[in-house]
Amino acid sequence: AIVSLAVMATIFYTQFSPIKQAFSPPASSQEPAFSLLVTLEFQDLESKQEFLKFMTPMANYVREKEPTTLSYQVLQSDQDPLQVMILERYADKESAYLKIHKSSAEFLAFRPKLQGLAKDGKVKISGHSYLDEKSVGFMDRH
């Protein structure tokens, strides 16, 4: 009975489950993964803490609601306590980043808060985007 239940669950998942569709890259998509590396240099620790306060719900939302976002991590500089980097990695640029992430209500609420810190001179923002052509190296061991 346990084996039958496992077989039935596997068949359901592979044939009918919307979860499979949500977590699988589109079959027709040949786009490479898309990454953003954004560096934030804060004026003071209070500004950094303010950022972390509104960044935490954003990161939690991305983890829970954006399965095509492969990585979304705030990294702390080991040399400068006022500098952080946001590492963002998406399954592709057009769908995962532009259509899903940038149009989410959470992102649309987050963005003005970060821009407000920049406008007030509390943070300098710089960054670059990259395409993952999978030519050299690896991102994880899975």
pLDDT, tens only, 49-85: 999 999 999 999 999 999 999 999 999 999 999 999 9
pLDDT, tens only, 3-39: 444 444 444 444 444 444 444 444 445 789 999 999 9
DSSP letter at 136 equals S
Alpha helix locations (H) across the chain?
2-16, 18-23, 45-65, 105-119
- pTM value is 0.76
Alpha helix locations (H) across 30-100?
45-65
User: Residue holding tokens 């399954």?
Assistant: 91
User: Residue holding tokens 């489950």?
Assistant: 17
Minimal CA–CA distance to 97: which of 38, 24, 35?
A: 35
Burial of 132 from C-beta contacts in 10 A (0-12 / 13-18 / 19+)? middle
